[in-house]
């Protein structure tokens, strides 16, 4: 959480002292830079540009400026530069100290985009710019300063004195001189001494004689050139599209050719071949020498998926979270230089500095990971929308389960729907069986695999097929339960039940990572004999191994997938048929395309359903429909078994029927009735502090101020709450929240700006605002 804004601290940058007459230069003579800083206050500061920088400094440059009372040097971003405006108040300005990069990091469009983000997500421009530039670019990782040598200026060498000196050069110096003469570019000391076959002495002597000169330059020295490593990847031809894909592509091509910023919601059922449509649309923009950005959830950045792009295009940059600073810097430079055709990456790749962007694609657009949970709390989908508008390029939002947000825009005809309702090669959608576990004898005996699912797995495995089991809880048991008082053991810092991890015999908090040996007695009532209840992936793995001893089973969750590349290893083993049963958390629910998977089991469909969350139903539908889609992708067909204690729940029923349209209709009806998103916007204000009563009282105060301001300014913003947050205690802090709700998001933004900077502060209590939150916990 960021600190509340402290307006007063930032007022003194432009010193409003009485200027001396000679300082009262006429406005036109002043050359000023507009600078923003990475602070929570959204303000632009003016700095004087010294004469020596006037020709160099441009908007988009990173600079160093003196800031605050102590004039501490701080990095900042130049967002504008030029002669002072006529009405610029006459005050004494501080001076820009240094320009930090040789070239600006942002062009005009990126400045506009980031300004928009600051407005839309209620943070400062400086915070947004700071987040857009990777750390590796800021610290110029993987580069070093080198000294380059070249001959002195021709006019100097042509002089009589020089000619005489050259005439009399000793052999080694002569060799150095000749080496530079025949070189086409300046040389490093190493290159030069090698080429002349001497040490550094003769070079220094020549320099003393002013026959050669040197200068310093920053150069890249990347050891790990990702693209060189992958250059040998076998190139493959594009597939021949089926009629559905052709229709989809044609619509997209029309927008590309017309340079329209149209947004397409590509609703294609699982296995309908959306990726091939993306690839061929990208083919078109690449043929114009333009670049495409493809956003995918981090977890989809698997070698399998990346291979699909690398085998089709010459230069693909993959931006995943395991990149080193210097790799990231290397990619940024290459992208900015226009050398990369396709940029594939998670959320932040939406900011890739492609100079001639032609297309943006968001795959699996329903994924919540496209929203950033720290400031700036932007949603990559909305940023992509804005960028597509600024660059006049189309945006494709692809999913088998579009968000209701996108769906409403389709209904309102703001976005264009493209439907692909059939799987490729006329494959049928898998048959989904909903299994009511309430009367299952196995489940009653505390097993997790019920009778029907067990039989289904036996058949599938017996016929040589592979199985995916999905369970969204990691660990062994999600609760330690006390018979004495009926409570479960909570994390000492969070209001969250501890999960037992049997492999390490630890009770772990999945929110703050607290862990300890499980207590033998209930910390609440002191009774002995705590019970481990419920099933997580570890326990499921044990059960599978016991029930299917002849088959190889692999667990995939964030506990087993800690190492770099572990994800890839498991998926490769699964693809190669070395693993029969893959079980895991939502990691295995997405994008996987394995034709030999003939059965998918959803072990407990209800885990998402009972969350106190507006989006619980939508998320349940998405997860089940997505995980169900992992089967039946080959000729052997496929089946899905969904175990649930709520077999009549619409989200589950509709997912079983692969019926997005009717789920959307049902759920949108509810949302409309409640005037909930997507029919309105929420902004969530979350407060936290060490003492519950204080947080509660302060939440009440803030919400009252906002409510009064809304009334005074006649803004139709409703305040819902305050109330304790669903996780009332997290990492030792008590948490309260309330929502600002309005049909028009502008009214929320206006209201916040109205009160921002005037809100009271309370010692020890922090608060943030999250516009269009996806996480309500």
Output the known binding site.
482, 485, 491, 494, 509, 512, 522, 525
In the structure encoding, which two tokens stand for residue 660, read together?
Answer: 């997005």
Q: Which of residues 411-440 bind Zn ion (CB under 5 A)?
A: none
Alpha-carbon gap, residue 49 to 652, rounded angstroms: 62
Burial class (CB in 10 A: 0-12, 13-18, 19+), 608: buried
Q: Which of residues 33-72 bind Zn ion (CB under 5 A)?
A: none
Question: Cβ atoms within 10 A of the Cβ of 222, count?
Answer: 17
Q: Which of residues 528-557 bind ligand ATP (CB under 6 A)?
A: none
Work out how close the CB of 715 gets to ligand ATP at its nearest, in angstroms, rounded to a whole number: 41
Residue with Cβ nearer ligand ATP (228 or 635): 635
Under 8 Å between Cβ of 460 and 600: no
Work out how close the CB of 424 gets to ligand ATP at its nearest, in angstroms, rounded to a whole number: 4
Work out how close the CB of 441 gets to ligand ATP at its nearest, in angstroms, rounded to a whole number: 34
Three-class secondary structure of residue 415 per DSSP: coil
Give the one entry of Zn ion, ligand ATP, none that residue 512 binds, where binding means its C-beta sits below a cut-off of 5 to 8 angstroms depending on kind.
Zn ion
Alpha-carbon gap, residue 448 to 454, rounded angstroms: 10
Q: Where are the alpha helices (DSSP H) in 493-608?
A: 537-547, 566-575
In the structure encoding, which two tokens stand for residue 564, read together?
Answer: 């770099």
Three-class secondary structure of residue 235 per DSSP: coil
Q: Rule CB under 6 A: choose which of 251, 263, 272, 472 binds ligand ATP.
A: 272
Under 8 Å between Cβ of 309 and 294: yes
Give the one entry of ligand ATP, Zn ion, none that residue 493 binds, where binding means its C-beta sits below a cut-off of 5 to 8 angstroms depending on kind.
Zn ion
Work out how close the CB of 733 gets to Zn ion at its nearest, in angstroms, rounded to a whole number: 11
Q: Which of residues 273-332 bind ligand ATP (CB under 6 A)?
A: 273-276
Give the one entry of ligand ATP, Zn ion, none that residue 222 binds, where binding means its C-beta sits below a cut-off of 5 to 8 angstroms depending on kind.
none
Question: Judged by CB under 5 A, does residue 509 bind Zn ion?
Answer: yes
Using the rule CB under 6 A, give the single segment among 233-241, 376-384, 431-439, 500-508 that binds ligand ATP: 233-241
Q: Rule CB under 6 A: choose which of 114, 270, 472, 535 binds ligand ATP.
A: 270
DSSP 321: T
- Map tokens 């205690």 to a residue: 729
Strands 143-151 and 187-188: antiparallel
DSSP 381: H
In the structure encoding, which two tokens stand for residue 715, read together?
Answer: 């803004």
Burial class (CB in 10 A: 0-12, 13-18, 19+), 547: middle
Alpha-carbon gap, residue 368 to 370, rounded angstroms: 5
Write out the H or E segment, with its range, that includes residue 738: strand 733-742
Give the one entry of Zn ion, ligand ATP, none that residue 494 binds, where binding means its C-beta sits below a cut-off of 5 to 8 angstroms depending on kind.
Zn ion
Q: Rule CB under 6 A: choose which of 133, 151, 239, 616 binds ligand ATP.
A: 239
Write out the H or E segment, with its range, that includes residue 73: strand 72-83
Q: Rule CB under 5 A: choose which of 392, 511, 707, 718 binds Zn ion.
A: 511
Binding residue positions for Zn(2+): 482, 485, 491, 494, 509, 512, 522, 525
Binding mask 383-402 for ligand ATP (x = CB under 6 A): -----------------x--
Alpha-carbon gap, residue 439 to 223, rounded angstroms: 61
Alpha-carbon gap, residue 707 to 413, rounded angstroms: 34
Binding mask 472-501 for Zn ion (x = CB under 5 A): -------------------x-xx-------
Q: Where are the alpha helices (DSSP H) in 375-450?
A: 380-391, 404-411, 441-444
Give the one entry of Zn ion, ligand ATP, none that residue 511 binds, where binding means its C-beta sits below a cut-off of 5 to 8 angstroms depending on kind.
Zn ion
Backbone torsion region of residue 265, taken as left when φ is above 0, otherwise alpha when ψ lies between -120 and 50, otherwise beta:
beta
Residue with Cβ nearer ligand ATP (425 or 458): 425
Q: Rule CB under 6 A: choose which of 1, 48, 146, 241 binds ligand ATP.
A: 241
Work out how close the CB of 240 gets to ligand ATP at its nearest, in angstroms, rounded to a whole number: 6
Residue with Cβ nearer Zn ion (493 or 552): 493
Give the one entry of ligand ATP, Zn ion, none that residue 629 binds, where binding means its C-beta sits below a cut-off of 5 to 8 angstroms depending on kind.
ligand ATP
Give the one entry of Zn ion, ligand ATP, none that residue 491 binds, where binding means its C-beta sits below a cut-off of 5 to 8 angstroms depending on kind.
Zn ion
Identify whether 482 is preceded by a cis peptide bond (ω within 30 of 0): no
Using the rule CB under 6 A, give the single segment among 235-243, 320-328, 484-492, 598-606 that binds ligand ATP: 235-243
Instruction: State the number of binding residues for ligand ATP (CB under 6 A).
Output: 19
Question: Judged by CB under 6 A, does residue 367 bind ligand ATP?
Answer: no
Using the rule CB under 6 A, give the single segment among 237-245, 430-438, 516-524, 566-574 that binds ligand ATP: 237-245
Using the rule CB under 5 A, give the single segment among 150-158, 190-198, 406-414, 513-521 that binds Zn ion: 513-521
Give the one entry of ligand ATP, Zn ion, none that residue 593 binds, where binding means its C-beta sits below a cut-off of 5 to 8 angstroms depending on kind.
ligand ATP
Using the rule CB under 6 A, give the single segment among 44-52, 269-277, 516-524, 757-765 that binds ligand ATP: 269-277
Q: Rule CB under 6 A: choose which of 4, 271, 632, 689 binds ligand ATP.
A: 271
Residue with Cβ nearer Zn ion (340 or 509): 509
Give the one entry of Zn ion, ligand ATP, none that residue 268 binds, where binding means its C-beta sits below a cut-off of 5 to 8 angstroms depending on kind.
ligand ATP
Question: Cβ atoms within 10 A of the Cβ of 743, count?
Answer: 14
Alpha-carbon gap, residue 471 to 188, rounded angstroms: 58
Q: Rule CB under 5 A: choose which of 10, 222, 514, 679 binds Zn ion.
A: 514
Question: Judged by CB under 6 A, does residue 424 bind ligand ATP?
Answer: yes
Under 8 Å between Cβ of 74 and 98: no
Q: Where are the alpha helices (DSSP H) in 121-169?
A: 125-132, 135-138, 154-157, 160-167
Q: What is the DSSP annotation of 16-76?
A: -S---GGG---GGG-EEEEEE-SSSS---EEEEPPGGGTTT--TT-EEEEEETTTTEEEEE
Q: What's the number of CA atoms in the CB half-sphere (13 Å) around residue 153?
A: 3
Give the one entry of ligand ATP, Zn ion, none that residue 514 binds, where binding means its C-beta sits below a cut-off of 5 to 8 angstroms depending on kind.
Zn ion
Three-class secondary structure of residue 256 per DSSP: helix
Under 8 Å between Cβ of 728 and 735: yes
Q: Which of residues 583-612 bind ligand ATP (CB under 6 A)?
A: 591, 593
| Biggest CA-to-CA distance, the chain | 105
Closest CA to 53 of 28, 13, 82: 82
Under 8 Å between Cβ of 345 and 327: no
Q: Would you say how long the chain is, in residues? A: 777
Q: Which of residues 125-164 bind ligand ATP (CB under 6 A)?
A: none
Q: Which of residues 467-496 bind ligand ATP (CB under 6 A)?
A: none
Give the one entry of Zn ion, ligand ATP, none that residue 271 binds, where binding means its C-beta sits below a cut-off of 5 to 8 angstroms depending on kind.
ligand ATP
Instruction: State the number of binding residues for Zn ion (CB under 5 A).
Output: 7
Work out how close the CB of 728 gets to Zn ion at its nearest, in angstroms, rounded to a whole number: 12
Residue with Cβ nearer Zn ion (530 or 748): 530
In the structure encoding, which two tokens stand for residue 454, read together?
Answer: 């067990």
Residue with Cβ nearer ligand ATP (236 or 746): 236
In the structure encoding, which two tokens stand for residue 615, read together?
Answer: 């989006």
End-to-end CA distance of the chain: 14
Residue with Cβ nearer ligand ATP (360 or 776): 360
Work out how close the CB of 688 gets to ligand ATP at its nearest, in angstroms, rounded to a whole number: 38
In the structure encoding, which two tokens stand for residue 71, read together?
Answer: 């004039």
Residues that bind ligand ATP (CB under 6 A): 239-242, 245, 268, 270-276, 400, 424-425, 591, 593, 629
Residues that bind Zn ion (CB under 5 A): 491, 493-494, 509, 511-512, 514
């Amino acid at each position: 959480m960021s600190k509340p804004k402290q307006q007063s601290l930032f007022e003194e940058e432009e010193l409003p002292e009485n200027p001396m007459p000679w300082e009262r230069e006429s406005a036109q003579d002043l050359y000023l830079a507009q600078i923003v800083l990475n602070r929570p206050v959204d303000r632009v500061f003016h700095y004087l540009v010294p004469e020596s920088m006037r020709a160099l400094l441009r908007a988009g440059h990173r600079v160093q400026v003196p800031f605050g009372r102590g004039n501490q040097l701080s990095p900042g971003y130049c967002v504008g530069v030029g002669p002072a405006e006529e009405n610029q108040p006459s005050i004494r300005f501080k001076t820009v100290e240094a320009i930090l990069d040789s070239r600006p990091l942002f062009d005009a469009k990126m400045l506009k985009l980031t300004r928009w983000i600051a407005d839309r997500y209620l943070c400062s421009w400086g915070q947004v710019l700071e987040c857009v530039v990777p750390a590796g670019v800021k610290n110029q990782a993987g580069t070093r300063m080198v000294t380059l040598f070249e001959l002195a200026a021709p006019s100097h060498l042509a002089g009589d004195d020089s000619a005489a000196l050259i005439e009399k050069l000793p052999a080694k110096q002569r060799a150095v001189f000749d080496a530079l003469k025949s070189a086409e570019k300046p040389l490093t000391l190493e290159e030069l001494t090698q080429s002349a076959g001497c040490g550094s002495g003769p070079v220094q002597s020549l320099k003393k004689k002013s026959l050669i000169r040197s200068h310093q330059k920053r150069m890249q020295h990347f050891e790990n050139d990702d693209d060189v490593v992958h250059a040998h990847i076998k190139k493959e031809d594009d597939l021949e599209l089926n009629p559905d894909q052709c229709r989809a592509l044609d619509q997209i091509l029309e927008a590309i050719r017309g340079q329209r910023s149209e947004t397409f919601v590509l609703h294609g059922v699982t296995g309908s071949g959306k990726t091939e449509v993306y690839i061929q649309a990208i083919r078109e923009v690449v043929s114009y020498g333009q670049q495409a950005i493809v956003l995918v959830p981090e977890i989809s950045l698997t070698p399998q998926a990346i291979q699909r792009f690398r085998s089709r295009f010459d230069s693909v940059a993959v931006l995943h979270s395991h990149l080193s600073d210097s790799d990231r810097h290397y990619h940024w430079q290459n992208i900015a230089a226009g050398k990369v055709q396709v940029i594939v990456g998670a959320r932040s790749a939406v900011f890739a500095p492609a100079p001639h962007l032609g297309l943006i694609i968001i795959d699996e657009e329903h994924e919540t990971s496209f929203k950033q949970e720290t400031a700036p709390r932007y949603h990559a989908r909305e940023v992509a929308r804005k960028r597509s508008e600024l660059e006049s390029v189309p945006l494709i939002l692809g999913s088998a389960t579009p968000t209701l947000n996108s769906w409403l825009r389709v209904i309102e005809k703001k976005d264009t729907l493209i439907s692909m309702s059939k799987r490729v090669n006329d494959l049928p959608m898998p048959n989904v069986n909903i299994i009511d576990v309430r009367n299952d004898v196995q489940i009653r005996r505390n097993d997790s695999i019920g009778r029907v699912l067990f039989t289904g797995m036996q058949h599938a495995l017996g016929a040589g097929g592979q199985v995916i089991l999905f369970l969204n809880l990691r660990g062994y048991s999600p609760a330690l339960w006390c018979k004495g008082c009926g409570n479960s053991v909570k994390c000492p810092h969070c209001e969250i039940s501890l999960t037992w991890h049997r492999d390490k015999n630890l009770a772990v908090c999945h929110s703050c990572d607290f862990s300890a040996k499980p207590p033998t007695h209930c910390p609440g009532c002191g009774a002995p004999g705590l019970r481990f209840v419920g099933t997580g992936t570890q326990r499921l793995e044990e059960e599978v191994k016991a029930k299917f001893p002849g088959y190889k089973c692999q667990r995939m969750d964030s506990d087993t997938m800690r190492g770099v590349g572990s994800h890839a290893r498991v998926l490769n083993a699964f693809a190669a048929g070395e693993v029969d049963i893959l079980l895991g958390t939502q990691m295995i629910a997405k994008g996987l395309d394995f034709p030999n998977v003939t059965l998918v089991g959803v072990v407990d469909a209800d885990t998402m359903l009972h969350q106190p969350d507006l989006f619980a139903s939508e998320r349940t539908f998405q997860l089940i429909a997505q995980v169900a889609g992992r089967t039946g992708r080959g000729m052997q067909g496929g089946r899905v078994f969904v175990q649930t204690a709520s077999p009549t729940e619409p989200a589950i029923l509709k997912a079983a029927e692969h019926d997005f349209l009717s789920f959307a209709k049902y759920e949108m009806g509810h949302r409309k009735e409640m005037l909930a998103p997507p029919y309105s916007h929420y902004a969530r204000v979350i407060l936290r502090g060490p003492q519950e009563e204080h947080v509660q009282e302060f939440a009440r105060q803030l919400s009252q101020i906002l409510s009064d301001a809304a009334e005074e300014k006649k803004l139709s913003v409703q305040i819902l709450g305050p109330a304790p947050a669903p996780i009332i205690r997290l990492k030792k802090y008590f948490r309260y929240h309330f929502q600002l709700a309005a049909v028009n998001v502008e009214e929320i933004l206006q209201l916040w700006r109205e009160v921002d900077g005037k809100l009271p502060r309370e010692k020890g209590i922090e608060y943030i605002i999250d516009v269009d939150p996806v996480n309500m916990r």
